[in-house]
Structure 1
Amino acid sequence: MKQTQLQRVSIAITSTKTSLIALGILFSLSGCNDSQPTNKLATEAAVINVTAENTASKSLAIWPQLTPAIAKDPALEANIDALVAKMTLEQKVAQMIQPEIRDITVEDMRKYGFGSYLNGGGAYPNNDKHATPADWIALAESFYQASIDDSVDGINIPTMWGTDAVHGHNNVIGATLFPHNIGLGAANNPKLIEKIAAITAKEVMVTGIDWVFAPTVAVVRDDCWGRTYEGYSEDPQIVKTYAYAIVEGLQGSVKGDFLSDQHVISTVKHFLGDGGTEKGIDQGENLASEQDLYDIHAQGYVGGLNAGSQSVMASFNSWHGVKNHGNKYLLTDVLKDKLNFDGFVVGDWNGHGQVAGCTNESCAQAVNAGLDIFMVPTAAWKPLYENTIAQVNRGEISQARIDDAVSRILRVKFRAGLFEKPSPVNRPLSGKTELIGQASHREVARQAVRESLVLLKNNQSLLPLKPNVKVLVAGDAADNIGKQSGGWTITWQGTDNQNSDFPGATSIYAGIDKLVTQAGGKATLSVAGEFDPQQKPDVAIVVFGEEPYAEGNGDIDNLEYQRGDKRDLALLKKLKAQGIPVVSVFISGRPMWVNSEFNQSDAFVAAWLPGSEGQGIADVLFTKPDGSVAYDFVGKLSFSWPSSPQQTQVNVPLAQDNSAQAQADYQPLIPYGYGLTYQSASTDAVTLDQLSEDNFSATQTLEDLALFERAVKSPWSMYIATNNERQGLSSSVANNSALNIRTMDRVVQEDARLVSFNGSEQGTVGLISNFPRDFRAYSKGDSALSLSIKVLQPVQKPLWLGLACEGDCRQQVDIAKLVNAKLGEWQAISVSLNCFAGEPMDFAKLVSPFYLATEAKVELSFSDVVIQAKQGGNTIQCQ
């Protein structure tokens, strides 16, 4: 779930806003522009121009007819029907609106009676990162009381609060943080997963919250995806088993303590195919066949629904050209009718705004497709509420569809006991702050850390280490709880955190230091690997890895670790050159190409993102004082390890495709299911010495990348801007104070854009993504930005062709002389990407791969914007 606006959180990407305003772009992930009239311009940065017709063949026979985990209760259904019959249309639509805590007041809740609300990642009561559990409870209580106050809206249906508690109650200071899903998948222990989910439910309920947006049941196919660590495994069977376990842990057993006062409502997400997008692009296009959609991507839903999950979250991605938030076939025909899901479908963060023809403020298509709750952060909630009412009154949405959505919401509320439970402040677990980060909870997390570790290399049985040694602990992740915890940790991206933000937690170094000191050894921390020559260490443990990220901010274009900046490799080489045995502990949200780092390591441990209990790593690396093994490695790779940076899709063949050819095509560096133990014989080990360090960049085959060719290509969207505002486009005609833009026909219908700049101020038209994208492969090659353009009259001022990246960076080239040379005719212009290189451009974090900007009064047309993999002979070069 895209959780926060850039202007609201203090993460690295915030500087993008400032730099892009200078460019004429107001870049905000929510993209809300309240000054724009409803239904005219899209307010979501990720509006994708796609056709409304799904090109995939469809066959409902592929999908099983599931038996609902909870049988319909006639008395409950009668209560639902009676309540719905008494509700006004306004009250019904309010049940379908889910705003965010930063965008509504208690009085808004009293007036409208929203069915639910949420806090996004990086959102806290009173906008205070260090809000106490008491602050969370107070907010829950105030919204609850307002929701049941019928003095204004005439109805007293209790609201419910949803939160992303994806590896513990990760928005709350002091909570227990478990390993992210990728590590839990390596543990392959469903009973442990159920226990983790039950603990998470308890810590969530301490703060008065009813509903958790978990589990993520994505089956990842391309490890370039920035959400890879949210997947348990590339094997759908592990995901299916885990989905059942975590739903049962969160909600309780349908045969026992289901949704008791010890449990919360769960959400299986994101429906459907989010882990299978092309090139691993977040919110991108899934082109799987329907059979693969079921066999691979739907298994987590089979598991979760069989355990009785009461909500399903729609996914941002498209399936064969149709955004899932507007896909009736998937949301209604498959999920509700064939899989017999009778809970509610909730949207993701303004995901309805990405449906063709929709904006954040208006989307009848999503309701008609089967969406029951709009997740609508920002001020867009109010026009969306008003527009939805108007659409029902005009017959664009049927009253029956509204009644169905509201009935589903009420069904879950009745099943969860929200009508009978006391208010949040008076619930059994509410305010029991001793449960937040309780020692017994941390012990379970510590166990999960131990079981998630995968031993990939152990030359000469270096591990386990005896604890009475001199150990140097190096690397920038060694004493960094935020880095070891990854994204979705206090802040959305997991950045801007200090160790002091994790009371009760333990860094990896702190766990090592405590264990070694107690055994009479000595642990020395030096991030840079420095030590007193008179106290040469017996061994070095180097803890390094990826910086935290969430969602599309983690998308990359290949799997090479620290491409172009091998500082961690330099540290390993330095220690090896001094004759010190090196144990590498690799922190990452996915397998990565680390051949060079393998070569410089005597032992190598994939530690994933272990969370708050870093001492679990020391538990396994060291023996007991008497030399006996304390805890052996049990983790096994739930993701195959790549043999090259470009091998981003390396997935073990499924049982139904276990052919000789499939096996022959499966060529990872380290296979799925691999993991050494202290009992492993040397013959069991994959040889990870003297590996090739050729990253194949020189021979990498790139294809032309169309950005705007007949239509805007996903994940880009078109915008227009002035120096003060940016607007996404969902209409064929739009304007701002600097320009007018409309679609036009060049070769086929609407394959070009006609832009009239009025010369009053700088205007900009371009393409943008809601997350930074990785273009390093193109920037290192012989690539160019090309477009077709036609200008009718001379351009008297600079016409800038440019690119922009995250942070305060952009590069641009004046093409006015070029276009003036051929007035009145279409011409192709190709500019080497080298022209846009140099400080401060960062091709790893490109947010706008194309824009045109000018202060001139001029009318121009453009089409066919492409990143050419290979420059042509007429490509413009720059000194």
Structure 2
Amino acid sequence: MTLEEKIGQMIQADISAITPEDLAKYPLGSILAGGNSGPYGDERGDAAKWSKLVHEFRKASAKAGAGIPILFGIDAVHGHSNLPGATLFPHNIGLGAAHDPALIQRIGEVTAIEVAASGIDWTFAPTLAVPQDLRWGRSYEGYAADPALVASYAKAMTVGLQGPLAPGKPIPADRVAATAKHYLADGGTDGGKDQGDALISERELVARHAQGYPPAINAGALTVMASFSSWNGAKNHGNRSLLTDVLKGRMGFEGLVVGDWNGHGQIPGCSVTDCPKTFTAGLDLAMAPNSWKGLFEATVREAKDGTLPMARIDDAVARILRVKAKLGLLGVNPVDRGNPSIVGADAHLAVAREAAAKSLVLLKNNGGVLPLRPGAKVLIAGPGADSMAMQAGGWTITWQGTDTTAADFPKGQTIGRAIVAAVKDAGGSAAISADGNFSEKPDVAVVVYGEQPYAEFQGDMPNLAFREHAGEKALLAKLKAQGVKVVSVFLSGRPLFAGPEINASDAFVAAWLPGSQGEGVADVLVARKDGKPARGFTGKLPFPWPADAVSPVKTPLFAAGYGLTYASKAVVGTVNEDPKVDLVASASEGVYFALGKVPSPWHLSLDPGIAAHAVDLGAQEDAQQFSWSETGAIGIDGPPVDLMRQLDEEFALKLDGRLDAAAGPIAVTMAGATLKISPPVGPLTVRIPLRCFLEAGASFKAVGTPLRIAGDKGLSLTLRGASIEGVGQTIACPAK
């Protein structure tokens, strides 16, 4: 192999930023599809389209350079979750509640079969984090707070995805490479901050956060992914002690170590296009989704001048080729993956339904309101009653999962529709009414609500308080006042303080993020005609449930391992409703306006001639109306924050509200750069990619004034929300 061919093996590009034709000049060794990247730009491409794309890249790689086929990786983190119609399982926190390693292995097998069916040979899973502070936005990717359970699942999922390894033989064509991630202690960062710093001793690092890796490695995990995070100030992507001495030395890992999305660029002294330090530390394959070309050229140059030793290059390439050989990609008759017809098979969906049922944890069941009796009149209400997005969560079709619909999973069922069907089968009547209105009083109302979808740092929280999105407290109170028994089905990626909601409910079910098969929830909640449900409650809390919103949880309301069954006679009394934190004075670094209020640490400033008052837009005083009697600006100011993470991940500034009166273009300034927008009078939803501000000269390293909105005399603007959110890469920039 030439030097360029070797360096190419060490760099991975995203399908949104490379074409098969590029491989003729740049012989890269690996391609990935990130959370917002679909085949040929189609986020909802089917398995056949995925397979076509993978084979085009593989054919091009076989013709380029040394003719070594590419590896193709994807985040199939709860089933083949990028693919419409695939089998979608509960997120890991729900699987942790099941406490069932054998089930985990079967889930791994189904996931591998469906990933391979779309031509792909590598998934970036399982996540082996042991979350300690549930404010972390990736908490639902962790199985449990118990390292022993994580260790048992690590082995089970690795074997499920890859099958047992056999000397001298490739893994089967219906299995894929697993990735133990994120190495190391991503679940132990200070304050639960994503990509943050784990300020812990080596003893705790080993005892709590490293326990899942030896079982995964011993089970044959072909790859390990380095974490964005740091350990005591040292970025894991550049930590030779952890990557080389411990992982490859002490643990005996012989596969490849892959980086996370441009994670090498966070190492001091590095950029996303130039980072020899990450390779000398022990990274074998850099994930450089949109920076691959610059990184390739810089790394070739540094190999030639001796900055990057040839011995390290050869070791990295040997590890990458070892994985490719084990996948059957090398040789005269390479393994060919791709059988789209088996995606979403009935047998696969049955496993997902079983997993959803086993993930449920019953926290309260006063008066035995559950299971729902045969012949009952049932109302299903709440924002999650018929929402595939809420029950599937992030990493579903798209990265953040906010636009997932029931149509994406035609063989799935929302929780509400599944309960309606089960109640009717048992001789009762049922209907869905999101707002809780009814013409005939029901015996029981099942209210489905919880967190909106999110992924990664978009889910970071300032505390553990559940913040309602659609008047859930008022809905529960209304139903109770009408004399209706209330069952809460709480959808969340972590335990949250929900004292008022628990008190307002006769029964309370922690349903986590159960995936596409809502029938699994109905199997447990609804009794059949014989008076018994298809399944009982078996789930136990994988993390403690907080008694208040303070994090980390010191005194839980329900300890890890708690979970009632239908045989339990326990009565849950009135619980604490005081969050013990100031909910108004705490917010994310990326939220500047929420329901008409400016959350701490931000504050609102108004130039002279601009008046503001609270107004009703969708609910009582949920927005502020700003009126310009002369030219000026409103501003959001606060302490400097680093928004570089959001910039790397293609985020946008979102403004939500209403334009009441126009007076020429509106100037929107972020991080020192100004762009102009001219929306029509009426409802307002504007998304401006952060890259547009960057191109206009913004600096996102230390942002103290994240937002200013300027206009001329006569402008009238009602603002309900202003925040940073994840989007795709197709939004055009407004004029400068």
* C-alpha contact (below 8 Å) 1:809/1:842 kept by paired residues: no
Equivalent in 406, 414, 436 of residue 317 of structure 2: 406
Measured after TM superposition, the shift of residue 767 of structure 1 is 4.5
Q: Which runs of 5+ in 1 are unaligned?
A: 1-86, 651-665, 706-715, 717-764, 774-798, 811-829, 848-879
* C-alpha contact (below 8 Å) 2:94/2:512 kept by paired residues: yes
* C-alpha contact (below 8 Å) 2:101/2:153 kept by paired residues: yes
User: For residues 184-215 of structure 1, what are the alpha-carbon distances to aligned partners after superposition, in whole Å with 9 as ceiling and x for unaligned?
Assistant: 00001000000000000000011100111000
- Distance in 2, Cα, partners of 1:437 & 1:457: 34
- Distance in 2, Cα, partners of 1:403 & 1:104: 25
Equivalent in 444, 452, 456 of residue 363 of structure 2: 456
* C-alpha contact (below 8 Å) 2:525/2:533 kept by paired residues: no
* C-alpha contact (below 8 Å) 2:523/2:533 kept by paired residues: no
* C-alpha contact (below 8 Å) 2:383/2:470 kept by paired residues: no
2:467 partner amino acid: Q
2:530 partner amino acid: D
* C-alpha contact (below 8 Å) 1:449/1:613 kept by paired residues: yes
- Structure 2 residue aligned with 1:677: 565
2:7 is aligned with 1:93 = yes
Equivalent in 254, 262, 266 of residue 342 of structure 1: 254
SS at match of 1:582: strand
2:175 is aligned with 1:263 = yes
- Structure 1 residue aligned with 2:264: 352
Measured after TM superposition, the shift of residue 502 of structure 1 is 1.8
Equivalent in 324, 327, 336 of residue 416 of structure 1: 327
Larger of the two Rg values belongs to structure: 1
2:452 is aligned with 1:547 = yes
2:45 partner amino acid: A
- Distance in 2, Cα, partners of 1:421 & 1:119: 27
User: For residues 719-762 of structure 1, what are the alpha-carbon distances to aligned partners after superposition, in whole Å with 9 as ceiling and x for unaligned?
Assistant: xxxxxxxxxxxxxxxxxxxxxxxxxxxxxxxxxxxxxxxxxxxx
Taking structure 2 as the reference length, the TM-score comes to: 0.80
1:596 partner amino acid: P
Q: How does 1:362-761 map to 2 (within 5 A)?
A: 362-378=274-290, 380-420=291-331, 426-427=336-337, 430-433=338-341, 435-532=342-439, 535-562=440-467, 567-646=471-550, 648-650=551-553, 666-682=554-570, 687=572, 689-697=573-581
* C-alpha contact (below 8 Å) 1:808/1:840 kept by paired residues: no
RMSD: 3.0
* C-alpha contact (below 8 Å) 1:97/1:114 kept by paired residues: yes
- Structure 1 residue aligned with 2:52: 138
- Structure 1 residue aligned with 2:100: 189
- Distance in 2, Cα, partners of 1:108 & 1:698: 53
* C-alpha contact (below 8 Å) 2:462/2:586 kept by paired residues: no
- Structure 1 residue aligned with 2:242: 330
Cα pair distance change 1:839/1:331, threshold 3 Å: farther
- Structure 1 residue aligned with 2:201: 289
User: For residues 301-344 of structure 1, what are the alpha-carbon distances to aligned partners after superposition, in whole Å with 9 as ceiling and x for unaligned?
Assistant: 12211211010000000111111101111111111111111111
User: For residues 591-637 of structure 1, what are the alpha-carbon distances to aligned partners after superposition, in whole Å with 9 as ceiling and x for unaligned?
Assistant: 00000000100000000000010111110011220113431100000
SS at match of 1:293: helix
Measured after TM superposition, the shift of residue 423 of structure 1 is 5.9
Taking structure 1 as the reference length, the TM-score comes to: 0.68
The higher-RCO structure (CA 8 Å, 6+ apart) is 1
SS at match of 2:278: helix
* C-alpha contact (below 8 Å) 1:172/1:490 kept by paired residues: yes
SS at match of 1:472: strand
- Distance in 1, Cα, partners of 2:388 & 2:119: 26
Q: Which runs of 5+ in 2 are unaligned?
A: 590-600, 602-638, 648-668, 675-684, 689-703, 711-716, 727-736
- Structure 1 residue aligned with 2:693: none
Q: Tell me whether 693-702 or 168-177 shows the greater mean CA deviation.
A: 693-702
Q: How does 1:798-817 map to 2 (within 5 A)?
A: none
- Distance in 2, Cα, partners of 1:321 & 1:294: 17
Cα pair distance change 1:258/1:463, threshold 3 Å: farther
* C-alpha contact (below 8 Å) 2:548/2:576 kept by paired residues: no
- Distance in 2, Cα, partners of 1:614 & 1:341: 39
Measured after TM superposition, the shift of residue 143 of structure 1 is 0.8
- Structure 1 residue aligned with 2:145: 234
* C-alpha contact (below 8 Å) 1:251/1:258 kept by paired residues: no
* C-alpha contact (below 8 Å) 2:117/2:174 kept by paired residues: no
Q: How does 1:11-30 map to 2 (within 5 A)?
A: none
* C-alpha contact (below 8 Å) 2:194/2:456 kept by paired residues: yes
Measured after TM superposition, the shift of residue 432 of structure 1 is 3.9
User: For residues 497-548 of structure 1, what are the alpha-carbon distances to aligned partners after superposition, in whole Å with 9 as ceiling and x for unaligned?
Assistant: 222122211111111111112222111110000000xx21011000001000
Measured after TM superposition, the shift of residue 566 of structure 1 is 6.9
* C-alpha contact (below 8 Å) 2:548/2:577 kept by paired residues: no
1:692 partner amino acid: N
- Distance in 1, Cα, partners of 2:540 & 2:332: 43
SS at match of 1:112: coil
- Structure 1 residue aligned with 2:621: none
- Structure 1 residue aligned with 2:642: 768
User: For residues 798-852 of structure 1, what are the alpha-carbon distances to aligned partners after superposition, in whole Å with 9 as ceiling and x for unaligned?
Assistant: x999999xx8699xxxxxxxxxxxxxxxxxxx99x9x99x9748688699xxxxx
